[in-house]
Amino acid sequence: IRVIDLTQQPASPQFVRTVAGGHTGGGTCGGIAHPYCNDGTGINAQFSFPYGLALNDAHHLLYVADTANHRIRRIDLASVPVTTLAGGHIGGGTCGGLASSTCNDGQGNDAQFISPLDITDDTSSGDIFVIDANNQRIRRVTATGAVTTFAGGNAGNGVTCSGSNNAHCKDG
């Protein structure tokens, strides 16, 4: 994950810098061993296809949709530790009250995503919203890592989302 610091001159080595990522060889994410994922500080963290980003300026946090690791990661920009906020469960469960083999609402590691693609934050509540592309759902994640299905997945709410790696949803 790289940052462009517009307060620096373009020739400065601080203009573009890596704040997190670069580790290879796996490790643990949220306490779970994984070959392509590692929680750590700065370049000791490992991601696999980080895609969507959401910045919470008020709390100096950057949220990352770590797409190929099927997790939501959080970077504290003040001290740069990378932690797994949610994701890691395998085997399905329930999403939006419906049984699913690839999706699970839950707390932290008990939540399951399949290719979280994009992410945004709601500064008023502190929640983040994730496009869970291959589960065809929009998921809500609280600051403590509680994951619920907000929309999609034919949960009876009239919202459907395309699973073709895009963030287009429609009512009805």
Report pLDDT digits (tens) over 104-150: 999 999 999 999 999 998 878 889 999 999 999 999 999 999 999 99
Better-predicted residue by pLDDT, 158 or 74 = 74
Strands 81-86 and 93-95: unpaired
The mean per-residue pLDDT over the stretch 60-70 comes to: 94
Between CA 128 and CA 106 the distance in angstroms is 15
State the pTM of this model.
0.84
Mean pLDDT of the chain: 87
The mean per-residue pLDDT over the stretch 55-84 comes to: 93
Residues 25-61 have pLDDT tens digits of 899 999 999 999 999 999 999 999 999 999 998 888 9
The mean per-residue pLDDT over the stretch 79-86 comes to: 94
For 30, 60, 80, the CA distances from 109, given in Å and listed in that order, are 7, 23, 21
Residue 156: what pLDDT? Answer: 43
Number of C-beta neighbours around residue 140 at 10 A: 17
Residue 154: what pLDDT? Answer: 62
Q: Is 93 helix (H, G, I), strand (E, B) or coil?
A: strand
Residue 57: what pLDDT? Answer: 85
For tokens 């790289």, what's the residue? Answer: 2
Residue 120: what pLDDT? Answer: 93
For residue 20, give every residue at least 6 positions away whose Cβ sits within 8 Å of its Cβ, in sequence order, or none.
1, 42, 43, 45, 47, 75, 80, 82
